[in-house]
Copies of this chain bind each other. A is one copy, B any other.
Amino acid sequence: MKLLEIYAKMKGDINKIENELERVVSDEQPLLSEAALHLLKAGGKRIRPVFVLLGGKFGTYNLDDLKKVAVTLELIHMASLVHDDVIDDANTRRGQLTVKSKWDNRIAMYTGDYIHGQALTQIAQIKNPKVHEMLSKALVEMCIGEMEQIRYFFNTDQSIRNYLLRIRRKTALLLAISTQLGGIVAGCAPQQYNALYRYGYNVGMAFQIRDDLLDLYGTEKQIGKPPGSDIRQGNITLPVILALEDAQVREPLLAEIKRIHDEGDRADTSRAIEYIRNSEGSQLADELANRYIEKALAVLEHLPSNSARKHLVEIAHFVGKRNY
């Protein structure tokens, strides 16, 4: 099943959010609007807004409130992408030029700050203090996750636990609060919004593991940027950590990573990718992603069986699917 088919029944509300995203980032300041709209138009799965809407279906579905939360979370995600592209010195994302590449790093930094600020103007309209508490904590954790990623660049001694903690902060938390805050603003009971949180969290973990695998297995067209970008940048992902535990592969892979580190931005990563693919690492990472999806599906059993739950099942299967 494709994501668009899963989304089909929610199309009306998703379109409203899309329009709202555009409206919120449009401003009299021409460059900020242009940069923000450029980013918005490059698309994306809009999985955070969809999670918010689906979370809201377990309570009193009020699109006005849900829209504000959905727009906030998508904009915060977008703002983090603009800053990540500066850090990663990335020229393309989703096959489009990045803001830092189409304009420059300065514009990208303020565009990120601006989009982030506009996100806050939306959430400021939500009166529930729990929403502000969860969101602000997630924002801090996201920064820590990004910083931990930098700190562990080219560190081939890191543990699986280390990686998992990092992607939890970097990716899974924002997805977790997407479903959760949808539930909270719809007035769900704690038991329900906690289940929604755990669903989002587990799907988020699987999502990031799959994304890290895609960087090793996908084509440039699929990924929207050159394959092997992670390892070139020094981001040691789960399949690499697991491949390093494979005695057959460890030594030559370590030598390759060292060479990539020394050669820098233009280093050829094809041999390293080959080693990782031929190790047990990829399959083990694949299995771990599947385990997170199973956990996400199990959590859904705690929620009433309705069409939203059906959608969440489909999205979990979609995220869990190998797409490379």
Contacts and interface: CB of A to CB of B under 8 A. Distances in A.
Interface in A137-164: 137, 139-140, 142-144, 146-148, 150-151
Interface stretch (A5-13, A42-50, A120-128, A176-184): A120-128
A113 interface: yes
27 contacts: A27-B140, A29-B148, A31-B147, A32-B144, A83-B109, A83-B110, A83-B113, A87-B106, A87-B109, A107-B147, A110-B143, A110-B146, A110-B147, A110-B150, A114-B147, A116-B139, A117-B136, A120-B135, A120-B136, A120-B139, A120-B140, A121-B139, A123-B136, A124-B129, A124-B133, A124-B135, A124-B136
Name A's interface SS: helix
A208 interface: no
Contacts of A127: 129
Interface residues of A, number: 40
Contact of A114 (B121, B124, B140): B140
| This chain: copies in complex | 2
Contacts of A106: 86-87, 150
A32 B121 CA distance: 26
B110 A87 contact: yes
A136 B114 contact: no
B114 A143 contact: yes
B146 A121 contact: no
Nearest to A149: B110
A86, A106, A143: residue with the most chain B Cβ atoms closer than 10 Å: A143
